[in-house]
Structure 1
Amino acid sequence: MADYFKLNAEYYKVPGHFTFKDVYLAQYVRKDTLERPELYEIKSDDIFVVSYPKSGTTWTLELAQLIMNKGDPTYSLSENHFYRIPFIEFHSETYPRLTGLTAMQNIESPRLLKSHLPIHLFPPQVLQKGCKIIVVSRNPKDTVASYYNFYQAYPSLLGDYKGDFSNYLKLFMNGKVVYGDWFDHTLGWYEYVVENNGLFLKYEDMKKSPRDVSRKIAEYLNCDLSDEVIDEIVERCSFARMKMSGLINIQEVEGRPFLRKGAVGDWKNYFTLAENEAFDEVYNERMKDSGLSFEWE
């Protein structure tokens, strides 16, 4: 199975892509902040939600923001999700307000911030200051299926990908997608959370019991909320409600919705039997002894 996911000499490349410390990145990622992370003015009460793309980031951020505001939706309803919550490494000439460094300066503390960076590219001062970090992860089969659709939906960010899923899966398994290798990313952050008392969430648990996960987030952020407030937050952040929200499920970038299915087990609609068997072999080898496991349906 070792050669099953072998790439041809020529493979799809995101326009303007670059590699930094062996991580494949898109042109919207600010290279200057990777080279000079001190450009970020980090505050000790900053709160970060970190994930590999398509793992439940938006959902987690919306939950966290409502929890931080004790269930009051006023701020959450005040503006587009992507303006309310800075994406720290993002840079855009077209949408300058979305540029992370600028957006971080325009919100009050405590700041809720987003990143997809792997831990070895993350601003070290965040870790040194002991900022609260919530890591959310998703089983990699559903992650790659969702990421494949995202590549097709957002050509201005990721190029006009026209390949099939089988070829995209090879890119994913070789770390040739934006933000690189899922295994390195996930295990790096998982190890940090375990050793530093961070909060590690699984998308599948959020789907199964959003109330329990919301309570975990509240406890981690030292927010003492009643059961009634937690229930209201869970309802406001249900996938169906977020998908209907023009402030969250934006369609202005490419004319297609940002949120798609949000299902667990959708990978079955994409993987062939042979791909699934080959994937499982790689997964079992890469994840052995990690203490981390996922649900697949």
Structure 2
Amino acid sequence: MIQNAFYLEDVSIEGAYTEESILATKNFQSRQDDIYLLTYPRTGTTWTQNILIGMVYGLDELSQTGQSEMRFKFPYLEICFEKEGWGHEVANQITSSPRMLKSHMPSHLAPREIFSNLRKNIVVVRNPKDTALSLFKFYQTEPTLVGFKKTDDLDEFLLQIFLEGKLNCGSWWEWTKSWIEKCREYPSNHLLIHYEDLHQKFEEAIGQISDFLGKKRLDDKYIQDLKIATAVDSMKARYERNSQEKDMVNKGQMNRWKSEFSLQIAEKFDDMTRKTFKDDDIATKFI
């Protein structure tokens, strides 16, 4: 199992990556109809991948997609798999179109040509407090990360690790701000989706994705079938069918931080959000 920890262009990297795999991702050459999913870790990546599989490839294909199959249907560009090799190499073996590709990298380490060549880029963001809780658990259970677990104490993790950006992919605040800026700089080929909107406005979010991808809008029955097929229990059943990893699909809840965070820690997170986004109205989505 590959486990590395290093800094690259001022970003903390931990897990199954190498400097070479990330730089190769940065220089990755896409195809014209590629679809990218860009997310900070634990912000709805797996859920959105499943939604996109169901929308683009169909519900029958989704029903056959577990964790191992997802690696080949929706490659994770910068990761290094022991058997399959680098994620971008897996992507280059796909002959069907459109390809769907995933990356957790901040915008300055993402493939350069997705901006210059206007690829379709879907960016999903999530409240930092729920993100931090999910990452705390992930560092306890994910095989490629447990070696970098720094504490079993939640408050210590929140204050000294997450707030300081001393974890894989660096600061949530810097990552999120940079991708929001890209979405605004290149609005024609970027779609910003809030994790919370997928929960509260699923049908509306699916319509936005369909429009962005230039696809005919799905009918109501298909959307409801997709919603059921991408519910947590359904995804867990598929992902754990032939896999030893049991925590890739988490609880998928909103506002769980309210029962876990002290008022003092919540305020520190909100202060960082205000400092990062200043007078930008989008800050209210993260407080």
TM-score by length of 2: 0.88
**For residue 231 of structure 1, what is the aligned residue in structure 2?**
224
| Cα distance between partner residues in 1 of 2:284 and 2:93 | 37
Give how far 1:195 is off. Answer: 2.0
Q: Can you give the 5+ residue segments of structure 2 that lack an aligned partner in the other structure?
A: none
1:261 maps onto 2:245 in alignment: no
| 1:174 alignment partner, one of 164, 176, 180 | 164
5 Å matches for 1:73-152? 73-79=59-65, 80-93=69-82, 96-97=83-84, 99-107=86-94, 108-152=96-140
- Cα distance change of structure 1 residues 87 and 201 upon mapping to structure 2, 3 Å threshold: same
**For residue 214 of structure 1, what is the aligned residue in structure 2?**
206
**For residue 278 of structure 1, what is the aligned residue in structure 2?**
268
1:34 maps onto 2:22 in alignment: yes
| Cα distance between partner residues in 2 of 1:58 and 1:38 | 22
| Cα distance between partner residues in 1 of 2:240 and 2:250 | 9
Provide the identity percentage: 29
Count the aligned residue pairs.
Answer: 277
| 1:54 alignment partner, one of 39, 42, 51 | 42
Conservation of the 8 A alpha-carbon contact between 2:124 and 2:194: yes
TM-score by length of 1: 0.85
| Cα distance between partner residues in 2 of 1:184 and 1:204 | 20
Conservation of the 8 A alpha-carbon contact between 1:52 and 1:182: yes
**For residue 181 of structure 2, what is the aligned residue in structure 1?**
191
1:201 maps onto 2:193 in alignment: yes
| Cα distance between partner residues in 1 of 2:192 and 2:5 | 29
| Cα distance between partner residues in 1 of 2:71 and 2:240 | 10
Give how far 1:259 is off. Answer: 1.4
**For residue 10 of structure 2, what is the aligned residue in structure 1?**
22
Letter in 1 for 2:72: Y
RMSD: 2.3
| Cα distance between partner residues in 1 of 2:241 and 2:166 | 27
Q: Can you give the 5+ residue segments of structure 1 that lack an aligned partner in the other structure?
A: 1-13
Give how far 1:29 is off. Answer: 2.2
